[in-house]
Structure 1
């Protein structure tokens, strides 16, 4: 009998078939919410992302199990309470190790993340025996911050495999949890605490695949379950989705609300029931719908034609081709992944999370850069994995909101779209109008107004064509953006370069009157206003289409757009009115520099768009990205901008030396009329046309 006992204990400790079994804990919280004690004490050598995910796991346990330790401000289970404090101690240690790895906030308005202070706040609430909701909220905020700053994947990067999940469960879990998940096996009776029953409603309603996968990855404290480090990340997800669906034996509904895989991974049954109730679906139908969402929907590619799904498929295929040594074919698939997958989805992503859209594009550009630089297949695969992770986040961001967008959030998004996309065009139009007014050429301002007016009409036609007649592909979109940006840059260079060489107000005015009075130059004003405004109108159309497709109230979108339009009009009016009071020489300088700066921005943005379309080669250089200024870390974009900057420096140097400046195309002015030669550099004559 003693031998049998020893044999059983050794088997429990060392047999993989047994020690990887799921075990419960005293409060009967969800298995997916249990967190490891020993496992929580992470090895300092682990990457910050791994420790961050472990900390997410700990905080999930604290949020879920606190109610089993404290009720009504009194401790009801001292062991559970002590365990909460022990785990928060582990969380504080992890926080101190990974805090230096947190990147700085993207801008001054973004709050800094202080993990030590956040964990201390949760601990203070626990020690004060605060209400369960307060502890859960504080822990949830810290978990959300960890997931955000370390960009932790909350869903699989590919569809889970039901058969693989079933096989893994049978091999590693069924001995203790039973074939049905009821934890009624003879082996289960030998453990204290007893393994969790996945059929227990209290446990099952709170489980999510993400929490189960995290538990599988890090193990469970005080039980025979160790971290499943011998399984791959994909195996963790396969097993997690299978376990979450075990309790659902009701025949699946033939029709169920559509949830993205990224949503199913992080939403519990209890949360989905609330969604269904809010949608007016009878409670009697909830079990059948949940059965569909847990046992069928995760394994069915419902969005095979969705852009982000196409991006995944193309990137996966690129990896395979690269492994075979077919670099040219792999390159084509990588480019197609962006043009056919990421680019068409960008408006929807940006409407939901502008920062995520920028990050996703930066990740893809980094992938292209590494690939073009001749990175090894392993290095390219690592870059693809980073892109895949951002795609998963994007899928969650663009998933349909169950309650729809609120009026306020829609209005803010709408105004943000117009302000973000329209400010460059507004500044350009303001500068052109101001220069024309200062030079006494008010009659030429109509060409500027005509240019942006035609651009708005073309934008409306683009809306009609793209929504009713022809889908604008990613390749077309990048080419349109690139060509219009480069054409606008060329016309801006033509208009503004010679102004940089004019040092005195009289020479500025004479040049403008001589050049802008020409029909060709007047058409240039029309052209640059048209190109700049249409480029922004084209982008704006796509973003508003995505916003309205996300259950956004139309009235809120219109209100936000109206507010944004008013702000842009006020910006133009403020700039042109300022020209009436500013010294002419100062105003001319500012306007000239502004126009030329916009030419530099358009040069970078135009070349970058052509690179994303695969038309222009891409050679990476170590340089920061400032998308708003058209600055991207590639040799081609920086070279285009540096050429313009160098020409500007030459013009300014020559201007100060008093020598004739090198001419822009057709920049040599004809002889001035005699009466213009004597024109004094006074502000009174300058304002005659304003």
Structure 2
């Protein structure tokens, strides 16, 4: 956790120094005092670390602190910050990355509920509370800033808040919601990219660790396969990085099918766990999107999933369980049609057929 926090502080200095100093002159004294305070805090925290490469980290931190003190050019500050942060990242334990993100609609709704009052409806840092805050909320559409902001830094800011700012820790949000917000706000500065996904060879996609740990400028500098414009496109379209992941409706269908199989084998505890997963890992992720299209269908599916979980946890409920499961599958198919504005997927049809076969004992 110390390394993550230090990494976040270093990135913050590299990004926000531009608001404090320009051409060797202080342009915002409050911002400059914050840069000095953070750079000193970084040195102090690193001096107490007991990790490999601690002497190197301390030297790098002192270079950053001295550069801030001397009101060095922004390019120098960002180079010092980038070097220090790369060393910190190399020492971090493995991070569990998201397997999938919420839909864009669901993430936008999450942003409007939790972030828009400060950051503005479009993320420009101009929310209704912004004038009252010092420092001002981040403008996520500032491309120069976004080029130097990592997704991990955004995730940690959402998860832990930022000291000495109005940014709170959103601990009430689930991890997937926080990752989805990080990818979303990290995309806002790049939405005008004119390239399309077909311009990128999927074999050239960066691995998720690099993609999350490093900012676009760093990735472009190190990559031999992706141009900066292509990297900006992938930041603008984060869901494309997860395009091979099953859709939430498909996950719900698959988990229900697995739950029925477990029930048929008298594995009632497993069946109950899988039925819960069908909701938490599947249907819950599209509830808000579905509610906007057909609130009655959303409510009915939710009620039927609750009923299904009550039946599947113990024996003697075959008739009611299979009847209700078939009904839920039909409703999930309807939901998928509404959400995709298309015909039933092969997975949906296959899953529904399996439930009928199971009900009939085939």
What's 1:239 paired with?
181
Of 13, 36, 44, 1:85 maps to 36
Q: 1:119 aligns with which of 61, 75, 96?
A: 61
User: Which residue number corresponds to residue 102 of structure 2?
Assistant: 161
Aligned 8 A contact 1:156 1:234 in 2: no
- Partner SS state of residue 199, structure 2: coil
Q: Which residue of 2 aligns with 1:136?
A: 78
Q: Distance in 1 between matches of 2:193 and 2:74?
A: 33
Q: Quote the offset at 1:222 in angstroms.
A: 4.0
Query: 2: CA distance between counterparts of 1:128 and 1:251?
Result: 40
Provide closer, same or farther for how the CA distance between residues 96 and 227 of structure 1 changes in structure 2, counting only shifts above 3 A.
farther
1:132 to partner: Cα distance = 3.4
Q: Which 5+ residue runs of structure 1 have no aligned equivalent?
A: 1-49, 105-110, 304-316, 327-690
The equivalent of 2:212 in structure 1 is: 265
- Residue 143 of structure 1 deviates from its aligned partner by 1.8
Asked if 1:256 is matched to 2:203, the reply is: no
TM-score (norm 1): 0.31
In structure 1, what is the equivalent of residue 14 of structure 2?
Answer: 63
Match of 1:299 among 242, 257, 261: 242
Of 214, 220, 245, which residue of structure 1 is paired with 2:162? 220
1:165/1:240 contact within 8 Å kept: no
Whether 2:128 is the aligned partner of 1:186: answer: yes
CA gap of 1:95–1:269, structure 2 versus 1, over 3 A, is: closer
Aligned to 2:287: none
Contact 2:100 2:245 in 1 (8 A): no
For the structure 1 residues 204 and 301, does the alpha-carbon distance in structure 2 shift closer, same or farther, using more than 3 Å as the test?
Answer: same
Cα displacement (A) at 1:84: 1.6
> Which protein has the larger Cα radius of gyration, Structure 1 or Structure 2?
1
Tell me if the contact between 2:7 and 2:153 (Cα under 8 Å) persists in the aligned partners: no
Quote the Cα distance in structure 1 between the aligned partners of 2:123 and 2:166.
Answer: 17
In the aligned structure 2, how far is the partner of 1:280 from the partner of 1:210?
A: 20
Matches within 5 A, 1:434-513: none
SS in structure 2 of the partner of residue 240 of structure 1: helix
CA separation in 1, counterparts of 2:185 and 2:19?
Answer: 23
Structure 1 residue 268, shift from structure 2 partner: 4.1
Give me the CA root mean square deviation. 4.0
The verdict on how the C-alpha distance between 1:190 and 1:180 changes in structure 2, with shifts beyond 3 A counting, is same
SS in 2 for 1:255: helix
Match for residue 172 of structure 1 among 97, 114, 118: 114
Q: Specify whether residues 95 and 135 from structure 1 end up closer, same or farther in structure 2 by C-alpha distance, changes over 3 A only.
A: same
| TM-score (normalised: structure 2) | 0.55
Change (3 A) 1:256 1:210: farther
TM-aligned CA deviation for residue 56 of structure 1 = 0.8
Contact 1:264 1:298 in 2 (8 A): no
Partner of 2:310: none
Superposed displacement of residue 173, structure 1: 0.9
Any idea what SS the aligned residue of 2:100 has? Answer: coil
- Deviation, structure 1 residue 302: 7.5
Aligned ranges 1:179-578 → 2 under 5 Å? 179-247=121-189, 248=191, 253-257=196-200, 258=202, 259-260=205-206, 261-269=208-216, 286=229, 290-291=232-233, 293-295=235-237, 296-301=239-244
Question: 1:54 deviation in Å?
Answer: 0.8
